[in-house]
Structure 1
Amino acid sequence: MATCDAKLSGMFARKCAHKPKQGIVKKWYFNWEDVDKVATTTVNSGTKVEALVLKAGSYLYPAEGNNKTSTANHALSVLDFGNGYIHTDGFTVMYRGEEESHRIQELVGGGRVCTLIKTVDSGESGELSYHILGLESGMLVTEDTWNASENSGTTTLTVATQEGEEESTGKKIFMMPVATADTALEETEAWITANEYVEP
């Protein structure tokens, strides 16, 4: 607990110069077709994922962090038959050889993707949280930009929910259903580690 005056002032700066903020720490992307949709369970009107199950041989693929990967948002789209959310997400993929290029080409060819986002509140609580975008319908790639001058070659992808396929909720919280909040975080991170792709 900070000993300085905890009141917020202009620009949300504490009087002791502490500036609370939050942001994206890391992202993973995975193929929407790789999700076991029967075994995956949601609660709270579909806004929380308690069990994310991938099909055998499927993985989460880590996306490298930089300024471009910090973009992720959803917007409410009002349609003739109701309201739905459109997600837009940008992430950067480091070149990992032919397999990485193959996965990117699948997205360009119409493959659907979901993203798992780890965010942190760097204020006093330092709270971590995980969110999933695109779980209901998957997102299609809208931009594929390759830059050979950045870190030996990076691909920046932007994916978005397609019009007419809006999702019923905004971002979904991802947290394993265990006894305490601390244990839930540990179990969630352990699940991510167990399902993350590791280059041979």
Structure 2
Amino acid sequence: MAVCDAKLSGKFVRQCGHKPKQGIVKKWYFNWEDIDRVATTTSNSGTKVEALVLKTGTYLYPAEGNNKTSSANHALSVLDFGNGYVHTDSFTVMYRGDEESERIQELVNGGRVCTLIQTVDSGVSGELSYHVLGLESGMLVTEDTWNASENSGTTTLTVATQEGEEESTGKKIFMMTAATQSTDLEETEAWITANEVV
């Protein structure tokens, strides 16, 4: 077994056998204003979402990216008023038709967006993890590009946290707490299925 304790110091000790994440598998986006703030709960100093609740009649919208559009990142921004994290995310919208165009237009008109991201490692276990970006302040569209020749015509959106509205934490771990005999991961995936637009 590898000796991992020497890699880092203090509380930042890498666990032996931990596999690095290998990339984004799928994304969903949803309007920041669709979050039920009272019912949604976080823990670990705001870095983990244990219950994400959307308002009645609102949904997660699936999005699909490729090597160029599956990027998502956060960076610490140090400004005059203090520190904060700035999120940036790009994704290609899967949902087609009038509803897709209307949804994008809502965002372009000033709506704020959050992104739910599924990542997976390339190991035997295929470990899944989920993260949320933009939960605290939401992100605004900074780019809307339509390409008629790519993937039968797709729209790629890029969203980013606005200056002066930085998030207090980086990406948040998203894992619904299981209320039944199911695991937290099963509970999380069931929640996504129940809230995804069809």
Work out whether the TM-score is over 0.5.
Answer: yes
Distance 1:153 1:49, change over 3 A: same
| In structure 1, distance between residues paired with 2:119 and 2:85 | 20
Deviations 1:124-145 (A, max 9, x none): 3321000000000000000000
- Give the Cα–Cα distance (whole angstroms) in 1 for the partners of residues 68 and 130 of structure 2: 19
**Residues 95 and 154, structure 1, Cα contact 8 Å, conserved in 2:** no
2:165 is paired with a residue whose SS is coil
Over 3 Å counting, the alpha-carbon distance change for 1:80 and 1:21 in structure 2 is closer
Mapping of 1:173-184 within 5 angstroms? 173-178=173-178, 183-184=183-184
* 2:131 equivalent in structure 1: 131
User: Which stretches of structure 1, 4 residues or more, deviate above 3 A after TM superposition?
Assistant: none
Q: In the alignment, which residue of structure 1 is the partner of 2:115?
A: 115
Q: Report SS of the residue matched to 1:192.
A: helix
The alpha carbon displacement at 1:89 in A equals 0.2
Richer in helix (by share) = 1
Cα distance in structure 1, aligned partners of 2:78 and 2:192: 34
TM-score (norm 2): 0.86
Deviations 1:82-140 (A, max 9, x none): 21000000000135111110010111111100000000011233210000000000000
Matches within 5 A, 1:29-44: 29-44=29-44
Kindly tell me: are residues 21 and 47 of structure 1, through their superposed partners in 2, closer, same or farther at Cα, counting changes over 3 Å?
A: closer
2:78 paired residue number:
78
1:96 counterpart letter in structure 2: R
Q: Once structures 1 and 2 are overlaid, which stretch shifts more, 188-197 or 118-127?
A: 118-127
2:68 maps to 68
Amino acid at match of 1:130: Y
For 2:101 and 2:68, locate their aligned partners in 1 and report how far apart those are by CA, in whole Å. Answer: 19
- Structure 1 residue 73, shift from structure 2 partner: 0.2
Give 5+ residue unaligned stretches, structure 1: 8-18
Match of 1:101 in 2: 101
Note if contact 1:49-1:175 (Cα within 8 Å) is conserved in structure 2: yes
CA contact (8 A) 1:68 1:92 kept: no
Identity %: 88
Structure 2: 5+ residue stretches without partners:
4-18
Residues 21, 112 of structure 1: alpha-carbon distance in 2 compared, 3 angstrom cutoff: closer
Matching residue of 1:155: 155
TM-score with structure 1 setting the length: 0.85
Q: State how far apart, in whole Å, the 2-side matches of 1:63 and 1:33 are.
A: 19
Please report the RMSD computed on the Cα atoms of aligned residues, expressed in angstroms. Answer: 2.1
After TM superposition, the structure 1 = structure 2 runs for residues 160-171 of structure 1, keeping only pairs within 5 Å, are 160-171=160-171
